Amino acid sequence: MSGAQTKPAELRSRRRRGRHSCWDHLIIAPLWVAYDANLGTLLRTCDAIGACLAVPRTRHYQDALRVGDTLRGRRPCIHWVAPTKEGWIDEQRSAGRRIVAVELAEGATSLPRLTPARGSTVLLLGHEHQGVPDEVLADVDECVEIPMVGWGASLNVAVAGSLVAYRLAGLS
């Protein structure tokens, strides 16, 4: 980098003229994610890439998002999932959205081979311990796996979801 340095606050205000309104291109759906911190991180990722967040309409998720929200109330669009997760996924499919799961699974697309979303897409993320339920995984249009070379069995779900979401949004 060269030339006069622009202050971070100035850069921020130049880049962010306002919040996105719901345009349904990408919906991050951590339907089984339980921990407040992970939901808060995913909310920030949604804000950063102009995606929406979808979570079950339960007290647990409402409280978790309140605790995990560091955006000071300037939240991205939230879709409340009800009455059941499976029913909501079926509705999204019927509305023409692609259902993509982020999971370690046989036959999954490796992240480097994933191309940006061309149509409206729902991105499913699994529970911190149990992952995405098998019966849901069996029905998705695509599953994406992030290659790992270390000893750990998996990544933190908010990290995994953010990596894939950036890619689908065409920003990485």
Closer residue to ligand SAM, CB minimum distance, 65 or 108: 108
Question: DSSP characters for 100-113?
Answer: EEE---TTPEEGGG
Question: Considering only residues 102, 114, 122, 123, which one is a binding residue for ligand SAM as defined by CB under 6 A?
Answer: 102
Q: Is 129 in the site for ligand SAM (CB under 6 A)?
A: yes
**Which phi and psi angles does 146 have, rounded to 5°?**
-95, 120
Closer residue to ligand SAM, CB minimum distance, 67 or 148: 148
Q: Is 52 in the site for ligand SAM (CB under 6 A)?
A: no
Closer residue to ligand SAM, CB minimum distance, 20 or 159: 159
Closer residue to ligand SAM, CB minimum distance, 65 or 158: 158
Q: Which residue is nearest to ligand SAM (CB)?
A: 126
What's the distance, CA 118 to chain centroid? 16
Question: Considering only residues 26, 31, 43, 125, which one is a binding residue for ligand SAM as defined by CB under 6 A?
Answer: 125
Cβ atoms within 10 A of the Cβ of 3, count?
5
Rounded to whole angstroms, the Cα distance separating 121 from 109 reads 16
Rounded to whole angstroms, the Cα distance separating 42 from 114 reads 20
How many alpha carbons fall within 13 Å on the CB side of residue 94? 6
Binding mask 54-73 for ligand SAM (x = CB under 6 A): --------------------
Question: Are 167 and 116 within 8 A, CB to CB?
Answer: yes
Q: Is 140 in the site for ligand SAM (CB under 6 A)?
A: no
Q: Is 12 in the site for ligand SAM (CB under 6 A)?
A: no
Cβ atoms within 10 A of the Cβ of 130, count?
10
Bridge-partner residues for 79, per DSSP?
Answer: 54
Give me the residues that bind ligand SAM (CB under 6 A), please: 102-104, 125-126, 128-129, 131-132, 145-146, 148, 154-155, 157, 160
